[in-house]
Structure 1
Amino acid sequence: MAALALALRTVLVLLLVWQSAIWLFQPPRYILPSPLDVALAFQRQPGFLFGHSLTTIAEMALGFVLGSAFGALTGLAIVALPRLGRLLWPILLVLQSFPVFVIAPLLVVWFGFGMGSKVIMATIIIFFPVASAFTDGLRRTDPELIDATALTTATHWQTLRYVRLPLAMPSLLTGLRVAAPLAPLGAVIGEWVGASAGLGFVMVQANARMQTDTVFAAMTVLAVLSLVLRHLVDALGPRLIPWASEP
């Protein structure tokens, strides 16, 4: 409840600052709409925004699940198979340096204007923070614990399963927390490049018509989606990984 109250106060302060800037500078509505203009945009077209929001929600949800799964499996493979890790890790670092705005048009060309290219874009954005955090967690296992298991009959795979993997789960949860707000971004970037539905499509079309209030309305929905997904990770993560309950 305290976190919710703090969030509401923060939103209220931002709205007051926003409205004060409108009163002070009086910019044209097509440059900076007021909070009331944005609220009216929701009122004028609730079904339109809701329908496109569902498309973006589906893309970001699939991208988050796939990106998290592939990221976790990649991190596990890098540590479990050291030779593969030495080959794979530099490749991942190079791929991570590519700007997403360069990759997005290629995905549209390869996979079309449908949902597939947007899901893949979201998957790529989610993949890297999850893979990096989980790999780092697996590699940072206390060396004394590794040495202790070496004195037993535990195999490499048993040590990985019963020692390194449980201890690295908090790092995986950290990666998921970092990645959660990025899922809507991945979906929207794909929609900006080429789409026929979704909040990114709405923003591109509204911006071309100088309907800035609709652009801000879509941005507001995206912000809410990011917060909701992050909240879900924060709420479900400690339940699944009780020893990683620290925020």
Structure 2
Amino acid sequence: MSSFIKKGWKPVAVLILLLIIWESAVRLMDVPKWLLPAPSAIWKEAVSGFEQFYPHVTSTIGLAILGFLIGCSIGLATATVLHLLPGVREAVYPLLILSQNVPTIVLAPLLVIWFGFGMLPKMIVITLVCFFPVTIAALGGFRNTPPEMKHYMLMAGASKTQLFAKLEWPHALPAVFSGLKISATYSMLGAVISEWLGAKKGIGVYMTLASSSFRTERVFVAIIVIMILSLCFFGIITVVERYLVKWNGKEGQ
């Protein structure tokens, strides 16, 4: 705790300074509330509109978690297949890279046309933003397995399945968790984007209604909540990583 305080006070101080400058600038320049609200106005809106905003937050969290689980599961399965089948990897890997060059927001109208306004297009959007970081990170982790240990296990008569389960997969865990942390933050973004496809509630819907009515302070509340939720998701994955990958830290000592 003391080390966190020693390391964390600087960014907190900078954040407080920026908020003070923001508040002072808005008040001195008399900036209209609809154009740029002061931090105090954003805080008042967050407190007064909590009951109205809370259902939107819970809806987005549920959507993000479900999409994250589906996307990461598909990502891990894809990475495993591509690693165990080099021929398939050579054929599919370039297509994976190419698929990420199409912005997800561009695909949104097509998904609505193809699948309607239900849950499926929303899950597809979140899956698309979540599976790729996990796939790439896991593939990199599998390739980073020490070759001398792999050679030793093969000399001991280990099968390909045993080699993967007992050596390659454990050594890939740090890389896999790096991908999971990226996907955890992306899942919130994907959930908000997916809610623009026609959801009845969610942070994305809340932002759309707020911006159309020039309630800029509500837009800022939504943005701040998205940032906080993304940090929370990232922190949860980090805690799980420290619990499951203890051996990695000991190995390097």
| TM-score (norm: length of structure 1) | 0.91
Distance 1:212 1:74 in 2: 42
Distance 2:17 2:235 in 1: 21
Alignment length (residue pairs): 246
**Secondary structure in 1 aligned to 2:145?**
coil
Q: CA 1:68–1:14 in structure 2 vs 1: closer, same or farther (change >3 Å)? A: farther
Residues 117 and 190 in structure 1, CA contact (< 8 A), matched pair in contact too: yes
**Secondary structure in 2 aligned to 1:131?**
helix
Aligned partner of 2:20 in structure 1 is 16
Q: CA 1:200–1:3 in structure 2 vs 1: closer, same or farther (change >3 Å)? A: farther
Q: CA 1:77–1:17 in structure 2 vs 1: closer, same or farther (change >3 Å)? A: farther
Question: Does 1:94 find its partner at 2:135?
Answer: no
Distance 2:72 2:18 in 1: 32
Q: 223-232 or 146-155: which moved more?
A: 146-155
Question: Does 1:37 find its partner at 2:2?
Answer: no
Determine which of 75, 78, 82 is the counterpart of 1:78: 82
| TM-score (norm: length of structure 2) | 0.89
**Secondary structure in 1 aligned to 2:196?**
helix
Q: Spell out, residue by residue over 1:8-57, the C-alpha distance to the aligned partner (whole angstroms, 9 max, x if none).
A: 44542332232133134332111110111111212332111101111100
Unaligned ranges ≥5, structure 1: none
Aligned partner of 1:169 in structure 2 is 173
- What is the root-mean-square deviation in Å for CA atoms of aligned residues? 2.0
**Secondary structure in 1 aligned to 2:238?**
helix
Write out aligned runs for 1:108-147 (5 A): 108-147=112-151
Aligned partner of 1:230 in structure 2 is 234
Aligned partner of 1:240 in structure 2 is 244
Unaligned ranges ≥5, structure 2: none
**Secondary structure in 2 aligned to 1:84?**
helix
Distance 2:198 2:237 in 1: 29
Residues 56 and 198 in structure 1, CA contact (< 8 A), matched pair in contact too: yes
Q: Spell out, residue by residue over 1:82-111, the C-alpha distance to the aligned partner (whole angstroms, 9 max, x if none).
A: 122122211211111111111222223333
